[in-house]
Amino acid sequence: MRLCMDFISVNLKSQMQYKMSFLLTVAGQFITAFTAWFGLIFVLQKVEAIDGFTKGQVSICYAVIMLSFSIGELIGAGFAVFARILGDGEFDRILCRPGGILLQVLAPHMDFVRIGLLLQAVLVLALVIPGCGISWTAGKAALLFLMVLSGSAVFFSLFLLNASFSFFTVESLQFLDIFTYGARDFGRYPFSIYGEKVLKFLTCVIPLALVQYYPLLYLTDRETNGFYALCPVLALLFLVPCVAFFYYGVRKYKSTGS
Q: Are 26 and 116 in contact (CB under 8 A)?
A: yes
Asked if 168 interacts with other proteins (CB under 8 A), we say: no
- Return the exposure string of 35-71: e unless at least 16 CB atoms fall within 10 Å of the residue's CB, then b: ebbeebeeebeeeeebeebbbbbbbbbbbbbbbbbbb
Asked if 18 interacts with other proteins (CB under 8 A), we say: yes
# binding residues, other proteins (CB under 8 A): 37
3-state secondary structure 151-184: HHHHHHHHHHHHHHHHHCCCCCCHHHHHHHHHHH
Asked if 88 interacts with other proteins (CB under 8 A), we say: no
| φ, ψ (nearest 5 deg) of residue 117 | -65, -45
Asked if 50 interacts with other proteins (CB under 8 A), we say: yes
Q: Which of 12, 16, 95, 178 binds other proteins (CB under 8 A)?
A: 178
Please list, in sequence order, all residues whose beta carbon lies within 8 angstroms of the beta carbon of residue 142, skipping any fewer than 6 positions away.
Answer: none
- Taking CB under 8 A as the binding criterion, the range among 141-149, 193-201, 218-226, 247-255 that sits at the site for other proteins is 193-201
Asked if 14 interacts with other proteins (CB under 8 A), we say: no
Q: Which of 7, 36, 57, 77 binds other proteins (CB under 8 A)?
A: 36
Please list, in sequence order, all residues whose beta carbon lies within 8 angstroms of the beta carbon of residue 177, skipping any fewer than 6 positions away.
Answer: 162
Asked if 58 interacts with other proteins (CB under 8 A), we say: no
- Taking CB under 8 A as the binding criterion, the range among 41-49, 77-85, 211-219, 241-249 that sits at the site for other proteins is 41-49
The binding site for other proteins (CB under 8 A) comprises 18, 21, 23-29, 31-32, 35-36, 38-39, 42-43, 45-51, 171, 173-175, 177-178, 182, 186, 189, 193-195, 198
